[in-house]
Structure 1
Amino acid sequence: MNKKDLLTKTKLSELAGWSESNGRRWMKNFKEYIPSVNHNNRERYTKDSLKKLKFLKKISEMGMTIPEIKEILVKEGFPQNEKEEIKFIEKYRTERYYANYDESVKNTIPSTGEMMIPYLNAMKDRSPHSASEITEYLVHYFRLTDEQRFMKYEGNTDIILLSRIRNVRYSLKKEDYIEEVNKLTYKITQKGVELLKENKQEIEGEIEELEKNVDPLLIVKEKLNDLKDELASNLLKKLTEIHWMKFEDIVVELLTKMGYGDGEVTQRTNDEGLDGLIKEDKLGLENIYIQAKKYAVNRSIGRDAVQSFSGALDGKGARKGVFLTTSYFTANAIEYAKSLAPKKIILIEGTELAKLMINYDVGVNVSNTFSVKEIDYDYFKND
């Protein structure tokens, strides 16, 4: 390999669009995926290294944290080409782009009843079709926008369209209109073919019956979400009761566990409105400053408080801050924080804070675990 094609960590970070400290941090965390070569006893990087680091930057800009990305890559592997990268981003961008629930959008998404016959039509050629193929067929058939396709339920991580499609699939399979021939691969049955030939009245009557079926896994998931909401409420109540020093310790621990860097609480007095910091690199060249306010859940935090925090960041020459509270921010405070570019201040309110603690195992323990089993189709294949 030509020496001029090799890159230092500094150059690699620059070409990827990151500061050197950020680039080094991501290289360290994902070193098993970013190839390097030894040149004159020095670690150097290739064009493939740059490609992979640029991809990591793209998905980090979607709001995904290092632990989240690591978990996904362990499960799915690193995309090997541009096509796989696009597919990866398309799949996981939904977690960030359409988090805000909108009742008017929800009302335009096809119901389970409306999707029953189109679902069968997607496989009327009697060939096996994957679940993703059928979903794409339905998206095209109903001419759905990205917003309709990825809108989530309010206070829930489930995508409305996919949840309804799963229920359609469960109902059709339960009544023997389709069969699962391999993992997440389905085929229309003779009974399904015959249903498509029925008159409109017969079809509408059958759809009405099919809509009564509810996937038991959906019920379990809803109950688990209810338990999580209850836990978040109890956790938030506990946060309002603890000493403010303990609260500062907790939020620093949370952000550290979320993978932003090494955290520490600042001095308890004369802290200039800054309660903690996260060092994104070992030398502290890139710092995220923290403000933590333990208030009653019904006490609002206004623009003045956020503006004061912004001024404290200026005093440190910092561009990044996280303001966490057990209460909530006013609309003016939220709008002000959004207007600060290129400075970035993230506001985290009480309920979101509690749910993040649950997701990252801060202040909670596992009480019970449940496993749901499915057919291992590979087991039944002929050798």
Structure 2
Amino acid sequence: MNNNKLYTKTKISELVGWSEANGRRWVKHFKDYIPTVIDRNRTMYTSESLRIMKFFKRMNEAGFTIPEIKEILNEEGIPKKEKDEQSLIKRHKSEQAHREFDKQIKDTIPSTGEMMIPYLEMIKDGRAYPASEITEKLVGFFNLSEEQRLMKYENNPDIILLSRIRSVRYSLKKENYIEEVNKLTYQITADGLDLLNESRSEIKEEIEELEKVVDPLTVVKEKIDDLNNELADNLLKQLRNVHWIKFEEIVVELLTVMGYGDGKVTQRTNDEGLDGVIKEDKLGLDNIYVQAKRYAANNSVGREVVQSFSGALDGKGARKGVFITTSYFTDGAKKYAERLEAKKIILIDGIELSKLMIAHNVGVDINQTFVVKTIDYDYFKDE
């Protein structure tokens, strides 16, 4: 690849395999991560831009939504090599196997107080460490299992371990035991080294004080989560009351906005049990078929309904399907979809549907926006 080659937004979208509109949307969402240059008064994109865009596409194809990708990047940044990209995707993809909350596992995850001193011990050599590397060191130090490492809170999507490590980092940084020398890169301070040399009783007393330090962003996020949960409930009520034709249009629009391709609602008659189709490429060589059922909250979707959808996919020779409902799926329906081998059917219930609509701004408006600024470390570097 020619590292000096420049691309337009249209061309880079084409090279990644997205439509121009879809490419523009991803550039808009991740403009802080995609490098650009000005050439003859035009914004152009580099080979590194192309690499990063392809990484985003791989993340999306692996099932990550835009908000999820942003959360991962805010924690770990952009991987520098393809091997690192694959490792990151594999690691975060495995979270999907550990989504169910388990209090017994939660209780075995180290607390913020238990991680304070080990955090400092991991970086006491004075070197600057990326946040992700410190996390890996802590995982090894506590010998944590995949379940402990990936367990999420019961009522929000945050990973418990990472949330607690962020709290540790905030407390240590606020009390000047560590410093952020670059974005998400930390180094122990003289005060941090002094703390490690204190007596056991003095360390215990200081840890108790550090545990009282609360990151204001955590408080804000908890309140935002409460607002989003309330919004999701209200949105789901609206979805259950809209006309079934409108509901089909909504789910096709959502999947299109999520970046799965260009979608359309199928003909109202002779649709063979399929409500929509998403063309993943311009020629329609690989299609995702959609079934949308607007049901009441207590009207479950069972195995036989999902099995019928699977049969409709067979009639199209299709390998990918998405079944979306405003109610919920029975365990039998979920197990049936999980056991399919020749095709992949994704089940999205009402709760997940409303949250996806909020995350992708479908059917909702922005009421207020709060901006939290951080230091631009690149600005202070010598040219």
TM-score by length of 2: 0.77
Distance 1:157 1:145 in 2: 19
Query: Does the aligned pair in 1 maintain the 2:16–2:54 contact within 8 Å?
Result: no
SS of the aligned residue for 1:289 comes to strand
The two structures, once aligned, show a CA RMSD in angstroms of: 3.6
Distance 1:70 1:113 in 2: 28
Q: How does 1:36-75 map to 2 (within 5 A)?
A: 59=59, 62-64=62-64
Larger Rg: 1
Q: Which moved more, 1:54-63 or 1:369-378?
A: 54-63
Q: 2:17 aligns with which of 22, 28, 45?
A: 28
Query: Does the aligned pair in 1 maintain the 2:152–2:158 contact within 8 Å?
Result: yes
Partner of 2:294: 294
1:276 aligns with 2:276: yes
Query: Does the aligned pair in 2 maintain the 1:67–1:259 contact within 8 Å?
Result: no
Structure 2 unaligned blocks of 5 or more: 1-12, 24-50
Partner of 1:309: 309
Partner of 2:342: 342
Change (3 A) 1:115 1:77: closer
Partner of 2:197: 197
Distance 1:84 1:150 in 2: 19
Change (3 A) 1:280 1:189: closer
Distance 2:131 2:53 in 1: 31
Query: Does the aligned pair in 2 maintain the 1:256–1:263 contact within 8 Å?
Result: yes
Q: Which amino acid aligns with 2:222?
A: E
Change (3 A) 1:26 1:257: farther
Partner of 2:333: 333
Distance 2:237 2:15 in 1: 36
Aligned pairs, how many?
342
Partner of 2:259: 259
SS of the aligned residue for 2:281 comes to coil
Change (3 A) 1:30 1:101: farther
Partner of 2:160: 160
Structure 1 unaligned blocks of 5 or more: 1-23, 33-50
Q: Which moved more, 1:349-358 or 1:274-283?
A: 274-283
User: Post-superposition shift, 1:231?
Assistant: 1.2
User: Post-superposition shift, 1:27?
Assistant: 5.0
Distance 1:138 1:323 in 2: 40
- Deviation track 1:207-232 (CA, whole Å, cap 9, x = no partner) reads 12211111111111111111111111
Distance 1:81 1:306 in 2: 40
Change (3 A) 1:290 1:151: same
SS of the aligned residue for 1:213 comes to coil
Partner of 2:353: 353
1:225 aligns with 2:214: no
SS of the aligned residue for 1:268 comes to coil
1:150 aligns with 2:150: yes
Distance 2:65 2:195 in 1: 47
Q: How does 1:94-243 map to 2 (within 5 A)?
A: 96=96, 98-243=98-243
Change (3 A) 1:81 1:196: closer
Distance 1:261 1:197 in 2: 58
Distance 1:111 1:66 in 2: 30
SS of the aligned residue for 1:296 comes to coil
Change (3 A) 1:174 1:54: closer
Change (3 A) 1:171 1:56: closer
Q: Which amino acid aligns with 1:234?
A: N
SS of the aligned residue for 1:264 comes to strand
Change (3 A) 1:359 1:120: same
User: Post-superposition shift, 1:127?
Assistant: 3.9
SS of the aligned residue for 2:17 comes to helix
Change (3 A) 1:30 1:143: farther
